[in-house]
Structure 1
Amino acid sequence: MTAAQREASAEAPSSSSRDSTAASSTETLALTVFSANSEDDAECEDGQDGATEPLLARDKTAFGADLDEEKALTAAQRPRSRWRMVLRLLGAVLIFGLLIVVSAAFIRFLVRHPHAAVPSVDLPPISDSTANSALSCTQQYLLDTSNANVGVIPFPSTLYDPVLRPRPLEHTLSTEDWPARCLEQYVASGVLCDDLNGRWKDKPPKLDVIWTWVNGSSAELMADWRNEVAADAGWRRKLRRAVQAGAAAVVKHFREHGELRYSVRSVIASLPDSSLSTIHLVVGDTPAYSPFAPPPPNAAPSANATRFAQIPRWLDLPKIELSEPASTARSLARRTALLVHPHSELFRSSQIDGDGTRAAEWRSSAVPSFNSLAIESQLPNLPSTAQTALYLNDDFFLMRNLAFTDLDSPLSGPVFRMQRDLLVGGVAPGTSTDDPDGEWKGLGYSNWLLDQRFGERKRPYLVHVAKTISMPLLREVQEVFHKELSATAEARFRGKATNEVQPLFLATMYIIERHREALLWSFLVARSDADQSGTYSVSERRALLADLGVHPADAPHFPLLSIPRPRRDTVRALAADHAKAGLLNPLETTTEFSSHDGYAFLGLEPKMPFVYPSKEWPASPLSAAPSSDPICVLDIKTCFGDDFVSLDEGEVDVSAVFKRVAFEQTQCGDCLIALLVGKSGSRGLEAFLPEEEEAAEMDEMPVVTLPGSMKTSWQEVDYSAPPGGPGTLRQKTAALIQRYSYTLGSSPSSFQSISYAGPSLSTRLDQLVHPPSDTAPPAFVALNDDIEVPSSDALRDIDRRLQAWFEETWPEKSPWEQ
């Protein structure tokens, strides 16, 4: 269907479309409710107190007309239309009736099936033999085909523990299935051992897919929020002030065009079923505020309190599940399940008292959240079933077939996509001048946190498309930056916390910086402090200098050491290694850099001292001939200090030298890594590792981290302490390096800013599917609503064109749709 044909057909919507629009309009006019989706979380601010609210009506027509009216009339001039009041009253009656239906169905299960009360978090998973009789009341509600999807799932308020309970650190995908001997060999030499031949052919790695979604137009969900805003000078006055002040552009951040349904379809169409584990939908929830029936026998006094988790109305209730602490046979039997996660499940507090009251109060103050940063800060608490997750906003789409290795690899780690031409600098708390509703204030603060932990530098912006998450490492980030992430979670609206973190930027850069730290620790501590005493003896310092190619006698007055660009074969060999291990190679991703070749950001920042900026970034290690130009210059005396290079009798503190090279003089650590990568040969990281030792064979390496590495400041860590646990120091060092492995990749991507209605929008959308002959079709797409205060006609036109394009591009329903 061409754009012109779609435009003509869109003028005559189907009866079902008209019916759904009418119902939506009735609900909107009844309650004048506004909504926010998961990606869009900027808000209009009141000129006095800065309070915020979502700004999207479920029915864009009514909302656009209301805006036009706000612009044209003052509060004193605006008449109160009787027909609108009548429709609002009728809509209110309709919504109240729906709530009664939901409540009644839920209560019926509670009263008729007292055994169906939700299991506590301490109970073991339900066995197959008892699954049918032990389904919770919520699961029974979903399975009852007589219940229609009215946009909510009821669940008991006591279902989820509000207390954050620490869990042990886990293996990542790149360390879980490796015998210790194979992992050590791969890190040292870059050669895959025969034990891994075909390892993932019959049991391919899987990933979870995560969407966050909040629809604030739902009356039952937003009652709590509306009351709060109404008590604060009234939302209509705030909206009017924002429009009159020229701030209506933020409305776009809350507009919803039905993207989620098609974002889900796009993932199902692009990724093979063998790569998918669980689909996670994170949604808002709120108290039901309904006079429910008495609680089940022997229940706690608060057990009758019910909450509503909001869901899209196109979902088929019997095909989805509410995530619950206890497993059910039904969820275990499904190959790919869609689990709904209320905010109440994810938002948890470490504030512990006798009965969890403080944690529950904290959760109540933050749930539901309209701040995507706050919601993302709690994703570590998601009960994921896979170690890798693909995270999407509802306006992110996949356009082409992808392999698992387009996103992650058991050999080389998660794939990150970054922009060289957009660097993020650290901004100390309280000094930012960026718009608090935008993303750059959070980016600057996040990079400042990284500066405090890993040394100061600028870091690249993440490409605005679907992102790969390592769930074990995301939980590690939560442990390190728990205080900062909790403060972010407390801001129900973006910009209202004193300092907010950009969680995905923080987590991605954390992995890259921890890998750099692991490389430097391996050489400077594990290898060079041979007796693990915490101090360098004269002989150990001589050996370290010799490893760098420096004669000890020259060290005190050694000239600058020019480091050539390493020539490596890692990226080229990765394709053969994937085939050997039974993995399909990436279909739409060019691997540009592997962490097995060192540190990704060397040469990125143009003004770093003694480091030559690379014309290409990431710098390719596959040049046809060695370049005569150095990649960096290593100043031995500046980097290691006078005490170290003097080689006088006495001892030098290992941790102090490590901090100097790694963090105080960041260019020293970067250049040292480049030197040692070159000395390791064409593949592997042998020059970083301690000498080989005899050791008993182990089936699996323990999770290896450095003591004290959970601190938020490098000054607080004693890097001379060796890691504990079984295995040789060399094995543990190899496991530490592999834990934080990653690759940088590029894929055809498109960021589309939707600014205007009309045929040009359809033309641009068509070109995503059928691009010009000299342009590669995008594999990743983001559709960003940038429409400034549109008219109702423009919104209808945009919705019509988007809907037509969505249906043409992804006509096949996902397994969970009605």
Structure 2
Amino acid sequence: MQPYELNSSLNDEDGIWLSSHGSNTYREWDELRYSVRSVEKYAGKFLNRIQMLVNAVELPAGAEHSRKEMGKQRPQWLKWDSKNVDVLSQEEFCGPEERKCLPSFDSLTVENQLYNTRSDTDQLFALSDDMILGKVHAASDLFSPLLGHTFGFKDNAYNTLQSPTEKDADRFGEKPFLIYTSWLLNRRFGARKRKGQVHFGHSLSRTVAREELTSFPHPALRSASQKFRGETGFQLYSWFAIFHYTIERHREALLWSYIMLRSDKDDDGYLSWNERRTILHDLEEGMSNDPEVYRDRQYYRVGDRLTEAGLEAPKVNTEILWTSMNGPVTIKDLECETFDTEQCLAPGFSMASSDAQSRSPVFGSAVVFDRIARQTPRCGDCLLKLVLNRRRAGLGPVLPHPTKKPQQRDTVVKALMRFQYTIVQPDASFYMVTDAEQARHVLLEPYIKHGKTSGPICLNDDVVTEEETELEALKEVMEQLFEGLFPEPSSFENEM
């Protein structure tokens, strides 16, 4: 091990971290240098700043300081005068409460604090040091002001209905964190299956991330207080939480707009018979149009829409599965032929006699909103799908009237823009690197010899051998791979 590793503030005095993790925790193939090269080569056109998050290390004693002082684990190849690179230790970006728990040995704690990194822009794109870009990217592959952040999901989904158990805590890999965060999301937004995120770079809004963390204050701080990943079995999983928080808040804004603002025309907090009758008419009109063919699929024309707006179309994430311009992704492939207003909205909702003599509390706009937004999410999804199906495109059918309620409409539009998103099938590759022969077969030969390309590439160190000759052979293969892909130094590197 290197001196900077032994002196790192992340090494606890009892040696728990070192004893509980293999050498692959510390081993590196100079990935960070090549990750930076890939970012400059393939995303340099729209690159703003690079922020490297590193460990704090104890500085060697010297004449200029006799007491213990901490510095940063700064890469030796990085120029000291790089104006567009910030090297930040945990102490420099963690919040004031979280800072009290440092040092942290936990990647989830660090990821939960990314929104605190200093910047003049709200958007960031986060890469682990084992991730590289393999193709030229457009900014819209990650984020666009027209369509929001880009999300990618796996097929596996989670819907935790009961408090997670010790058995859940013992599950493999990231599953305990997904199960726990699913439970938190269910309590906040209602129970539904939510897919896990892909393991690649992630696009993030700092303001939305801050809002999400403050929405779960106790779990967030409890997570930050854990020195090691999964120390107590469960932690708030930032990416899973932020992605689905964004999706749910966008959906929530649409339901709030339709029920609380558009349908409650006199803003008295109650859905009268005339107002309920308008909702019934909207639903009937939406059901009369075939939902499979009537509504335009805007996600098929993302590139055209971006070009029309003067923005560059995606170059890598071109397989678009959904955009929030079509409504919440929860309505995709949803069957709503049996939508029942009495069960979904309120008992007696479709009858004038229900409140002919006196107001019924079940028709309060806030009561109906909570019912379809959180208590029975599928009902809210079907309501949105059917009402939106009144028009071929856009979100207009659920927005407040443009001339009668212009200020309320502006408020809703701002909320929708804050939480807009695009879901893609990423052009990405993930590799569990195990040994030299495997790395040569799945990486070196395809990418260097045969010219294979991929958008982002993740190279996860899954090497278990400690045999020096095997490790040297693997190191040589990885060096050939990286130098073959990125032979030119970045502008951030010292001259060799």
When normalised by structure 1's length, the TM-score is: 0.56
SS of the aligned residue for 2:132 comes to: strand
SS of the aligned residue for 1:317 comes to: coil
Match status 1:765 vs 2:423:
no
The residue number in structure 1 matching 2:192 is: 457
Aligned-pair distance for 1:348?
Answer: 2.2
The residue number in structure 2 matching 1:657 is: 368
Offset from partner CA, 1:351-384 (integer Å, 9 cap, x none): xxxxxxxxxxx635422x2211010111121112
Q: Distance in 2 between matches of 1:480 and 1:424?
A: 20
Q: Distance in 1 between matches of 2:100 and 2:383?
A: 50
Aligned-pair distance for 1:263?
Answer: 1.0
The residue number in structure 1 matching 2:8 is: 221
Offset from partner CA, 1:328-351 (integer Å, 9 cap, x none): xxxxxx5xx00011111122234x
Offset from partner CA, 1:775-811 (integer Å, 9 cap, x none): x731111111222234222111111110111011101
Sort the Cα spacing of 1:570 and 1:796 in 2 relative to 1 into closer, same or farther, 3 A: same
SS of the aligned residue for 2:429 comes to: strand
SS of the aligned residue for 2:11 comes to: helix
User: Can you give the 5+ residue segments of structure 2 that lack an aligned partner in the other structure?
Assistant: none
Match status 1:366 vs 2:138:
no
The residue number in structure 2 matching 1:271 is: 43
Q: Which amino acid aligns with 1:598?
A: G
Offset from partner CA, 1:15-73 (integer Å, 9 cap, x none): xxxxxxxxxxxxxxxxxxxxxxxxxxxxxxxxxxxxxxxxxx34xxxxxxxxxxxxxxx
Q: Distance in 1 between matches of 2:445 and 2:207?
A: 39
The residue number in structure 1 matching 2:342 is: 637
Q: Distance in 1 between matches of 2:63 and 2:295?
A: 71
Sort the Cα spacing of 1:255 and 1:635 in 2 relative to 1 into closer, same or farther, 3 A: farther
Sort the Cα spacing of 1:767 and 1:543 in 2 relative to 1 into closer, same or farther, 3 A: farther
Aligned-pair distance for 1:415?
Answer: 1.0
Aligned-pair distance for 1:412?
Answer: 0.8
Sort the Cα spacing of 1:315 and 1:435 in 2 relative to 1 into closer, same or farther, 3 A: farther
The residue number in structure 2 matching 1:385 is: 120
Sort the Cα spacing of 1:662 and 1:767 in 2 relative to 1 into closer, same or farther, 3 A: farther
Aligned-pair distance for 1:594?
Answer: 0.9
Q: Distance in 2 between matches of 1:437 and 1:490?
A: 22
Verify the 8 A CA contact 1:437 1:495 in the aligned structure 2: no
Q: Distance in 1 between matches of 2:60 and 2:366?
A: 58
Q: Which amino acid aligns with 1:318?
A: D
Aligned-pair distance for 1:305?
Answer: 6.6
Offset from partner CA, 1:637-663 (integer Å, 9 cap, x none): 110121423332224211111111122
Aligned-pair distance for 1:515?
Answer: 0.8
Aligned-pair distance for 1:528?
Answer: 0.8
Match status 1:399 vs 2:134:
yes
Q: Distance in 2 between matches of 1:266 and 1:693?
A: 50
The residue number in structure 2 matching 1:193 is: none
The residue number in structure 1 matching 2:381 is: 670
Pick aligned residue for 2:425 from 746, 751, 758: 746
Q: Distance in 1 between matches of 2:210 and 2:443?
A: 38
Offset from partner CA, 1:299-338 (integer Å, 9 cap, x none): xxxxx8732121122212233xxxxxxxxxxxxxx5xx00
Q: Distance in 2 between matches of 1:443 and 1:479?
A: 19
The residue number in structure 2 matching 1:310 is: 73
Aligned-pair distance for 1:429?
Answer: 4.2
Q: Which amino acid aligns with 1:284?
A: N
Aligned-pair distance for 1:769?
Answer: 2.4
Aligned-pair distance for 1:770?
Answer: 5.9
Match status 1:646 vs 2:326:
no
Sort the Cα spacing of 1:768 and 1:645 in 2 relative to 1 into closer, same or farther, 3 A: farther
Sort the Cα spacing of 1:462 and 1:543 in 2 relative to 1 into closer, same or farther, 3 A: same
Pick aligned residue for 1:602 from 331, 353, 357: 331
Match status 1:564 vs 2:291:
yes
Q: Which amino acid aligns with 2:85?
A: L
SS of the aligned residue for 2:144 comes to: coil
The residue number in structure 2 matching 1:478 is: 213
Q: Distance in 2 between matches of 1:805 and 1:817?
A: 19
Equivalent residues in 2 for 1:241-260 (5 A)? 250-260=22-32
Match status 1:691 vs 2:397:
no
Sort the Cα spacing of 1:733 and 1:281 in 2 relative to 1 into closer, same or farther, 3 A: same
Sort the Cα spacing of 1:729 and 1:266 in 2 relative to 1 into closer, same or farther, 3 A: same
Q: Distance in 1 between matches of 2:62 and 2:348?
A: 76
The residue number in structure 1 matching 2:157 is: 423
Q: Distance in 2 between matches of 1:674 and 1:476?
A: 27
SS of the aligned residue for 1:645 comes to: coil
Q: Which amino acid aligns with 1:504?
A: W
The residue number in structure 2 matching 1:414 is: 149
SS of the aligned residue for 2:53 comes to: strand
Verify the 8 A CA contact 2:253 2:416 in the aligned structure 1: yes
The residue number in structure 1 matching 2:473 is: 797
Q: Which amino acid aligns with 2:27?
A: R
Pick aligned residue for 1:576 from 304, 309, 319: 304
Aligned-pair distance for 1:767?
Answer: 4.8
Q: Which amino acid aligns with 1:312?
A: P
The residue number in structure 2 matching 1:734 is: 413
SS of the aligned residue for 2:177 comes to: helix
Verify the 8 A CA contact 2:264 2:270 in the aligned structure 1: yes
SS of the aligned residue for 1:433 comes to: helix
Q: Which amino acid aligns with 1:519?
A: L
Aligned-pair distance for 1:537?
Answer: 1.6
Aligned-pair distance for 1:218?
Answer: 2.5
Q: Which amino acid aligns with 1:347?
A: C
SS of the aligned residue for 1:738 comes to: helix
Equivalent residues in 2 for 1:191-230 (5 A)? 217-222=4-9, 225-226=11-12, 228-229=13-14
Q: Which amino acid aligns with 1:283?
A: V
Sort the Cα spacing of 1:253 and 1:413 in 2 relative to 1 into closer, same or farther, 3 A: same
Verify the 8 A CA contact 2:140 2:312 in the aligned structure 1: yes
Aligned-pair distance for 1:572?
Answer: 3.9
Verify the 8 A CA contact 1:563 1:633 in the aligned structure 2: no
The residue number in structure 1 matching 2:271 is: 536
Sort the Cα spacing of 1:418 and 1:365 in 2 relative to 1 into closer, same or farther, 3 A: closer
SS of the aligned residue for 1:496 comes to: coil
Match status 1:501 vs 2:287:
no
SS of the aligned residue for 1:593 comes to: strand
Q: Distance in 2 between matches of 1:771 and 1:293?
A: 52
Sort the Cα spacing of 1:489 and 1:292 in 2 relative to 1 into closer, same or farther, 3 A: farther
The residue number in structure 2 matching 1:782 is: 458
Q: Distance in 2 between matches of 1:533 and 1:772?
A: 68
Match status 1:284 vs 2:55:
yes
- Among the aligned pairs, what percent are the same residue? 29
Q: Which amino acid aligns with 1:814?
A: S
- Which of these two proteins has the greater Rg computed from alpha carbons? 1
Verify the 8 A CA contact 1:771 1:777 in the aligned structure 2: no
Sort the Cα spacing of 1:391 and 1:376 in 2 relative to 1 into closer, same or farther, 3 A: same
